[in-house]
Structures are given as structure tokens and as C-alpha cells.
Structure 1
Amino acid sequence: MNRKYRKLPRNTDYSAYRHPRWWPTWLGIALMWLVSQLPVRLQWWLGKLAGLLAYRLAGSRRHITEVNIRLCFPELTAPQQQALVRKAFIANGIGLLELGIAWFRDPAKLTGITRVHGLEHFEDALKHGKGVLLLGGHYSTLDLGGSLVTQYIEADVMQRDHNNPLMNAVMTRARERRYGTVLGARDLRGLFRSLKQNRAVWYATDQDYGRKDIVFAPFFGIEAGTITATSRIVERSGCQVVPFSHFRREDGPGYDIYFHPALENFPSGDDLQDATLINQTIEREVRRAPDQYLWMHRRFKTRPDESDPGFYKRR
């Protein structure tokens, strides 16, 4: 957490943020709201500019992205890898502007440019009566995709709090309007309560959470620290795990949402086998639109052997 806000309590009551210290954040939120009212095509254009600017100026994030792309797409030439890095910044720049759409606009107005694929797989999984884990990933359409999903299904969501308490308040209140329940990232009791009620819960495992309760399973051919909590959750609840993803269409303003059949023979009793299946599932979705994944995250930060050299040290 940012040290500046470490001792501040989490509070979604806007009246707690009247002090002048919050005015810069309020100004940023107002700007997000204004931009969110623009036509989607114009927002995409502005997002592209923002992404290109970040590509030029955010040296450390560009380095992380370059390392990830080089590791995960060794079959590409160096110029092709760099082109993908640039496209990833553009996609995430657009995603940054789409936060305003997700938080401040009615997602129902975007259903006309949204296509849903495989909804029957989700409906079949829900018929088991034990709840559904929606196995998602950190794509650049993260918030908007989740907002759009709730136009077709009822779901709860697990979230990691934003470092800035005011931004967290705006994000949480926006998600509370879309989802049934917004659960904290560590709220396992709430998660099991939702599953027991045969609800769906948006759930993502594709980040590096350190060495606790993980196995090292391949992700794009690289041994990646992968949490084993998913297997424990399914063992205890009996829920179904339905992979899903959401992407921006390249042929014009529009979005695609994909649901896939529930994972079979999961959990298998072998944590490494389960983690490998999850990583393979997410990798398959990432390959649909490689530039729309959050490559700026140090996915391979934790190495199998602590003495192994890190990937992200700059030469």
C-alpha cells in the first residue's frame, strides 16, 4: 500500500473526503467523469494517445512489459516483440479511459455493441447448485468487461482495494451498483457464503502473490508462482469453475465476452496439475488478444529457487 495512505481507514462515505487534501483526487475523478461522457470511439482515440504517452515516459513499466513479452513470445522477432509492447500500452491506455465508462455510465447502453459467446456454459454450471467461480484474468478491459458481464448474469466480485482511499470508495461504490456483493480480496467467508447461495463470483489468480501457498506451474512456458487456493475453494464448496474473458474488438467500438465449459476433473488432488490447468486456460484466452493483457505486472517475480536471478533487473 502507498505509505501516504497506509494508516487511513477504508471508507466509502464521500463525506469523509471533504478535506482539501482530497481535492486533487476529486479533480481527477471529475475529469474521468467528463471523459466517460464522450462517444466510445473518441475515448478509444484518447486512450491510444494516453497509452503512447505512457509508452514513451513510463520507463520502468515498459521494461517490465518488454521482459514479459520477450519471455512469453520467444517465437517473435525483436521488432515484433517491441511492436506488441507498444500495442499493449495502447490497449491499456484505452482500458484506463474505460474505467470511467465502467464507473459512471450505464453499461446497458453498451449492450448493442457487445457480443456474448457461450453463455449456456455458465447456465449449465449454475444448475449444479453449488455456485460458480468465474475464472477471469487481468485484461485491459477489466472493469468495463466485468460491468458488461453483469448485464447478462448476476455475479459477485472479489477485489483488491485501491491504494488511494477515495479512489477505492469510488471504485467500490461503482462496483456495488453492478455486482450483487463486493468482497474483499481476503474475504473467504464471504466467498463461501456467496457460493453456498449458488451465486457466481468473479475470481482471478493470474498475478504473483509471493511464496505463500503456491506451486510453480508453467505460464507461457515459464515457471510462474500460482496460488493453490482455487483447488481448496472448490474442494470445500463443490462449486464449478467457469473460465471467462472479455476483449475489445479491433474492427471498431465493440466488445466480446466469452464463457467456456466448466473445468473437468477439477480439483484433481494434485495442486501442480490444477495450477497448470488454470494457467493453460488463462494463456489460451490471452492469446486471443495478446496486447490486451496486463503485461505491466511482474508475473514472474517469484522464482522457483530464491537464488535464481530475477527477470526484471535492469542491466
Structure 2
Amino acid sequence: MMRLIFFPLWLLHWLPLKALWIPGRLLGSLAFALARERRRVTLINLTLCFPQWSDAQRRQVALRHFQGFVTSALALGIAWFASERRLRALIHFQGLEQVRHAQTKGPVILLTPHFFGVDTIGPFLTLDFDVITINSKIKHPTLDTLIRERRLRWGKGLIFARQDSLRSVLRAFKPGWLLYYLPDQDFGPKDSLFVDFFKVKAATVPALARMTKLAKASVVPCVVHLNFEAGRFEVTFFPPWEHFPSGDDGADTRRMNHFIEDRILEQPANYLWSHKRFKTRPPGEPSPYDGPSPPQSTQ
């Protein structure tokens, strides 16, 4: 019975990616109108990060964010059900040689910010690579198992729960393997540093530097762009980071956040703004999501 939940995604995966933009845009606009709390969170985040923008600019980016979010959710069925041949035709890699070169030196951490399409690219990578992913566990055990089956549909790779120990992940992280690492969420105050993210203090776990050091791994930044006009997923791999980690967790975490900022500026609407990125605050500072929204620009 639980498998029937996947039936709409299975139906939608037969449509061209371009065609999914039509229902995605309509349903996204509806979600923007009805999902008041998520809309509020998105606008607060945009206000904090882009105070120089006008209210109209932020609202337009927020609307496109909801449209892109819903479309990427509808496209998830492509990752879970499309044939290998179709997946290879839909996903365009740039800089894949960066990954191949880094693999010759040991394990590789793919630093992958939360842009739309990250859930689609993960299963695709397991066609050609041994990949470790770390995901939040779903409370319903049967649904969690079914989603794990879809993500591991090609029979390669490993999935760890976010609650698993770092030691368990590193034991499985072998030379030549990839760790698909999404770092840019608020996981609470435990083990976090308060590091600037668009000049706003954000609780950020410095795990990237620590994993890189312990695993003797290379960090290859990876950015996904869901290009609706071209009807494809575009994945850009950047050169491996040099002199990383530096030995200074704060500096290394700032470097990571600055890289993510630069990529957001290239495609601001396609980033996960509806997440409460600034919920955890330094001692004595209230959450921006409590009470009224921060003042907005009058430009």
C-alpha cells in the first residue's frame, strides 16, 4: 500500500523535464500563496541576506523559489524510475575530470550546496561511482526503506542516517569513493560554529574540514542547476580545494560559506531559502523566525 505514494512520481517521470515546469510553476505559485509559514521563512531569509534588495525583488525571487522547489520535487521521479539511458541524456556534467583526478589521490568529498536537483543527482552518480550519502531518517520506517531502495536502485553506494556517528561514515569511506555531502543547514548548537553567511551569523557544523583531515580526502565542490529551458540537469564540478583543511576550523568553515554565497548569487532563486537557516542563534540573540518579520527595504 505504501508503494502507491510513489505512483504519481512514476507517472510524472514519463514527461519531458521541460513539461514538468508547467505543473511545477502552477503548483509552486499555489504553494507560495497558501504555505504562509514557509513563505514567511523564505522572505525573512532573503531579507537578512539581501537587505539591499527591494521588497518586490525579494518577493519575486521567493515566488520563483517555490516554483523551482515544487518542480524539482515533481522531477524526483526521474531519478527514481527513469532508465539509465534517459538519465545520461538528461544530466550534463562540466568538470568531471576534476573528480576523476581527485580520485587518484584517495577519497573525494563532493561539497554540494542545497540547490534544486541535488536529490536527483545523488542516485545518478551511483551509476559510475561508489557514493556515500548522508540523509535524515524518515520517521515512518516503511517509507524510509522504500526511499532508500530508490536511492540505491543501481545497487552501488551506501546511505547513512544523519544520526549515525562520523566514525561509521569514515570507516566506509574508501579510496576512490565519493561522499556526497550537503553541509548548509542548521543542525542546532551542538558542535556548530557561528560563521557569517551573507554577513549573518549562521550555526554551521565544521565537519567538512574534520572529515577531510581524518579521511585524507580531497574536496571537490559540486553545484547542481535545474535548467528548465534546456530541459536538463547541469552539474558543475570545481577544482579540488588546495590548502584545505588549514587547521583553523573557523577559517575553513568561512571558506565553505563564502563559496556557497558566490554560487547563490549566480542562481539565487534555486537555493533552499525555505529552510530555517538562522534558527540557532548566539547566546542571548532571538531567532528571526520568532515574532514579526525583520524590517524590509523601502526601495
Query: Fold match, TM over 0.5?
Result: yes
SS where residue 210 of structure 1 aligns?
Answer: coil
Contact 1:195 1:239 in 2 (8 A): no
Distance 1:49 1:170, change over 3 A: farther
Instruction: Work out whether 1:82 is the aligned partner of 2:80.
Output: no
Please name the residue that 1:133 is paired with: 109
Q: Unpaired runs of 5+ in structure 2?
A: 293-299
Residue from 205, 209, 217 that aligns with 2:195: 217
> Deviation per CA, 1:269-289, whole angstroms, max 9, x where unpaired?
111101101111222222222
CA deviation after TM superposition for structure 1 residue 107, in Å: 4.7
Instruction: Work out whether 1:246 is the aligned partner of 2:217.
Output: no
Contact 2:131 2:177 in 1 (8 A): yes
Amino acid of the structure 2 residue aligned with 1:188: L
SS where residue 246 of structure 1 aligns?
Answer: strand
Residue from 242, 253, 265 that aligns with 1:287: 265
Please name the residue that 2:10 is paired with: 33
CA deviation after TM superposition for structure 1 residue 313, in Å: 1.9
Q: Unpaired runs of 5+ in structure 1?
A: 1-22
CA RMSD of aligned residues (A): 1.8
Please name the residue that 1:44 is paired with: 21
Please name the residue that 1:6 is paired with: none
CA deviation after TM superposition for structure 1 residue 220, in Å: 1.6
CA deviation after TM superposition for structure 1 residue 108, in Å: 3.4
Please name the residue that 1:169 is paired with: 145
Q: Which stretch of the first structure deviates more once superposed, 217-226 or 33-42? A: 33-42
CA distance in 2 between counterparts of 1:119 and 1:81 reads 34
CA deviation after TM superposition for structure 1 residue 99, in Å: 1.6
Relative contact order, higher structure (CA 8 A, sep 6+): 2
Instruction: Work out whether 1:67 is the aligned partner of 2:44.
Output: yes
> Deviation per CA, 1:7-39, whole angstroms, max 9, x where unpaired?
xxxxxxxxxxxxxxxx4x544322222222223
Aligned-pair identity (%): 32
> Deviation per CA, 1:31-81, whole angstroms, max 9, x where unpaired?
222222223222221122221111111100000000011111222211011
Instruction: Work out whether 1:198 is the aligned partner of 2:176.
Output: yes
Contact 2:112 2:221 in 1 (8 A): yes
Residue from 134, 156, 165 that aligns with 2:132: 156
Amino acid of the structure 2 residue aligned with 1:254: R
CA distance in 2 between counterparts of 1:127 and 1:267 reads 19
SS where residue 76 of structure 1 aligns?
Answer: coil
> Deviation per CA, 1:188-247, whole angstroms, max 9, x where unpaired?
234213333431110111000111111111112211111122222122121111110111
CA distance in 2 between counterparts of 1:205 and 1:240 reads 16
Contact 1:209 1:227 in 2 (8 A): yes
Q: Which stretch of the first structure deviates more once superposed, 62-71 or 41-50? A: 41-50
> Deviation per CA, 1:278-310, whole angstroms, max 9, x where unpaired?
1112222222221111111000111122x1121
CA distance in 2 between counterparts of 1:140 and 1:152 reads 22
Instruction: Work out whether 1:273 is the aligned partner of 2:251.
Output: yes
Distance 1:145 1:260, change over 3 A: same
Amino acid of the structure 2 residue aligned with 1:295: W
Contact 1:55 1:86 in 2 (8 A): yes
Amino acid of the structure 2 residue aligned with 1:241: V
CA distance in 1 between counterparts of 2:54 and 2:202 reads 23
TM-score (normalizing by structure 2): 0.90
CA distance in 2 between counterparts of 1:145 and 1:230 reads 20
Please name the residue that 1:262 is paired with: 240
CA deviation after TM superposition for structure 1 residue 263, in Å: 1.7
SS where residue 143 of structure 1 aligns?
Answer: helix
Distance 1:155 1:258, change over 3 A: same
CA deviation after TM superposition for structure 1 residue 250, in Å: 4.2
Instruction: Work out whether 1:300 is the aligned partner of 2:283.
Output: no
Please name the residue that 2:33 is paired with: 56
Please name the residue that 1:10 is paired with: none
CA deviation after TM superposition for structure 1 residue 132, in Å: 0.8
Distance 1:140 1:309, change over 3 A: same
CA distance in 1 between counterparts of 2:132 and 2:83 reads 18
Contact 1:156 1:181 in 2 (8 A): yes
